Chains A and B, each alone.
Chain A
Amino acid sequence: EDQVTQSPEALRLQEGESSSLNCSYTVSGLRGLFWYRQDPGKGPEFLFTLYSAGEEKEKERLKATLTKKESFLHITAPKPEDSATYLCAVQARQAGTALIFGKGTTLSVSS
């Protein structure tokens, strides 16, 4: 069964304190791994898509990496405005283009 597990469930950081969020997955043929940011009461905002092990993508303070079993979202020197829930999702070859989501990591950054 295709599955996505994110850890930790919640993370509290001080402004400027770098850290990483983990996304472990089991899927029957990975078509793509997606990272989204979701603010309370809003739809997910697209961040990155990764397709193969070893791939890395960066956007401002965020950097996503991918291995054959997991992905990391590294947050460098976070700011309070980075506070949100970060969702990881996979797209399996057999599932068409539907995404399977993890439960998310809720990040709180305090100044």
Chain B
Amino acid sequence: GAVVSQHPSWVICKSGTSVKIECRSLDFQATTMFWYRQFPKQSLMLMATSNEGSKATYEQGVEKDKFLINHASLTLSTLTVTSAHPEDSSFYICSAPTGKEQYFGPGTRLTVT
């Protein structure tokens, strides 16, 4: 199947700082990518849709000024968590559709201290 990578796989940052997470489609182009968040023992919740060449669309309740998304190219989307707080600690996962299927990255564990 298709491969999606994320970097970093885990990150620890101090409260008030910003963190950037990268999502890359390695063997296909993706005009759209999705960002999900998963809390322990919970399901994946869609945060936003990243669109190449246009603004991201955010799900209700997700602060667009806090979670900045940039779809820089057909193979790269970035999520920046600005002014991170402990409640932002979570598992962030990106996905990209190709054809009728959708592939997920390995996830990024963010811990804010």
Contact = CB atoms under 8 A, between A and B. Distances in A.
Nearest first, the 6 closest Cβ-Cβ pairs linking A and B are A43-B104, A101-B43, A103-B43, A43-B107, A43-B106, A44-B104
Nearest to B106: A43
Nearest to A95: B46
Is chain B's interface secondary structure helix, strand, loop, or mixed overall?
strand
Nearest to B95: A99
Interface string B80-113: 0000000000010101010011111111010000
A86 B46 CA distance: 18
B109 A99 contact: no
B53 to A, nearest CB: 16
Contact of B103 (A46, A51, A103): A46
Interface of B: 1, 4, 6, 32, 34, 42-46, 49, 91, 93, 95, 97, 100-107, 109
Contact of B102 (A34, A41, A51): A34
A87 interface: yes
Contacts of A97: 32, 34, 97, 102
